[in-house]
Structure 1
Amino acid sequence: MDTKTDLLSHHISQQFNTELEELRNNLLSMGGQVEKQVSDAIDALINADSEGAISVCEKDTDINAMELTIDDECSRILARRQPAASDLRLVLACTKASTDLERIGDEAAKIARFAISLSEQGEAPKGYIEVRHIGNHVRQMVQDALNAFARFDADLALAVAKEDKSVDREYKSATRELVTYMMEDPRSITRVLNIMWVLRSLERIGDHARNIAEYVIYLVKGKDVRHIGIKRIQAEVFDK
């Protein structure tokens, strides 16, 4: 029996199986919407697309509503089914992951608001190359974390968790370069500070993607790996 079948199709009650599958599908649907929000916000910034940025901001309320729906589903399953073992882990992982997805949506909305402000200023400031590079990196992390959740793939989740360190390094390097640029050209300070806030939002999106990956590891392996380093996760959970 494969992992997915084991986690979702082992109940005498077909209704319970259906509820768990629907919960997971709703989380993945929310994830797809959030992933698109991130992509659209970055594109709006790079292309000075105010209308696209406004659309990202407006859709943030839809993301919030999806989180509430998932929380309600989780509460009903906990109350009616009193799940144990892998079922309980799935419900807990979904409610935690939905919170991180909602926060990714919030960061996408922040980026969109900066996109509107920067497009009004006209001149494209330094830092767009870094935004595109780090943006593509964290967008891939979100996508891979969601794919890991969809397939209950702990190895892919571990790979996502590893990528967070790389994003952190890229963020710090870009920040140093932009600080140096502002010192050399004080007239650029306001515009470049906005870009630095965008980069900060992207770095946080990477953090949330790692969180989701850690929930997948918890779901599949039964081990809470929050707040421990990659080396310990590999040694204690994956025997690597």
Structure 2
Amino acid sequence: MDITSDTHSQHISRQFNQELEELKTHLMTMGGLVENQVLEAVRALLEGDSRLAEKVRDRDRQVNDMQLKIDDECTRVLARRQPAASDLRLVLAVIRATADLERIGDEASKIARNALSLIESGTTVRGLVEVRHISEHVRKMLRDALTAFARFDTELALQVVREDEAVDDEYGSAMRSLMTFMMEDNRAIGPVLSVMWILRALERVGDHADNLAEYVIYLVKGLDIRHMDPDQIDEDALKRRG
């Protein structure tokens, strides 16, 4: 059975409905937090704001605590309710999604740490245009993936999955450009390596957003597309499946 926005309002137990809705709400709250972490980490780098970078780095524990809280809620639902079918898929999808959101928080912390290093060195660095562009791209992927999860929107989720390849291409192009620059100027190796680590972290954010979108398709359709070529997924067939 497909899941729609009304599916989880059909239980006899009103309390069970509330528990499932709270899982979704807490997941969205965690998603908003990590999206903001990525935004502020990149902004700290681009604006040379060391305090903001420290704030992002130090807030990682809050993200970890949210993951533990949501996992505990999921465990209680599984133990008490023993959900089946679409309800079970929802709980499993939330557990998987929180793990990816926690890793996005880790990537934001890596960006913040490297931003601090660059700010403290006072060095003018290359690659900031690429950082800004890729960060905007992956944050949109993350935002769309969370929206797809909230709305059980498989079409939007599939768009996110297909965007990941474009991010990979942008990342590869930026890395090649920075490698060329390092070869031309040995003095730039240290700062450019920091920028490359930041770009790698952003590319990983895109990967995790892709995972979130895949969970939406699994949740709504019961279809695991993790090892499928996104271009080979038939949208019409996806609409019919369930």
Q: Which amino acid aligns with 1:50?
A: S
CA distance in 2, matches of 1:226, 1:19: 28
Q: Which amino acid aligns with 2:132?
A: R
Deviation at 1:232, TM superposition (A): 3.3
1:46 aligns with 46
2:238 aligns with 237
1:78 aligns with 78
2:197 aligns with 197
Q: Which amino acid aligns with 1:206?
A: G
Mean Cα displacement is larger for which, 122-131 or 102-111? 122-131
CA distance in 1, matches of 2:82, 2:229: 32
User: Is the partner of 1:4 in helix, strand or coil?
Assistant: coil
| TM-score (normalizing by structure 2) | 0.96
Contact 2:3 2:86 in 1 (8 A): no
- In the alignment, structure 2 segments of 5+ residues that lack a partner are none
Aligned residues: 238
CA distance in 1, matches of 2:171, 2:3: 38
Q: Which amino acid aligns with 2:165?
A: K
* Correspondence 1:89 to 2:92: no
1:124 aligns with 124
CA distance in 2, matches of 1:2, 1:165: 27
1:162 aligns with 162
Within-5 A mapping of 1:100-111: 100-111=100-111
Deviation at 1:48, TM superposition (A): 1.0
1:113 aligns with 113
Contact 2:3 2:152 in 1 (8 A): no
* Correspondence 1:5 to 2:6: yes
Q: Which amino acid aligns with 2:194?
A: N
CA distance in 1, matches of 2:3, 2:90: 16
CA distance in 1, matches of 2:234, 2:224: 13
Contact 2:41 2:56 in 1 (8 A): yes
- Structure 1 stretches of 4+ with a deviation exceeding 4 A read none
| TM-score (normalizing by structure 1) | 0.96
Superposed CA deviations along residues 45-101 of structure 1, whole A, max 9, x for unmatched, are 111110000000111100000000111011111111010111001000000000000
Identity of aligned residues (%): 59
Residues 171, 2 of structure 1: CA spacing in aligned structure 2 closer, same or farther, 3 A cutoff? closer
1:31 aligns with 31
CA distance in 2, matches of 1:39, 1:69: 24
Mean Cα displacement is larger for which, 219-228 or 184-193? 219-228
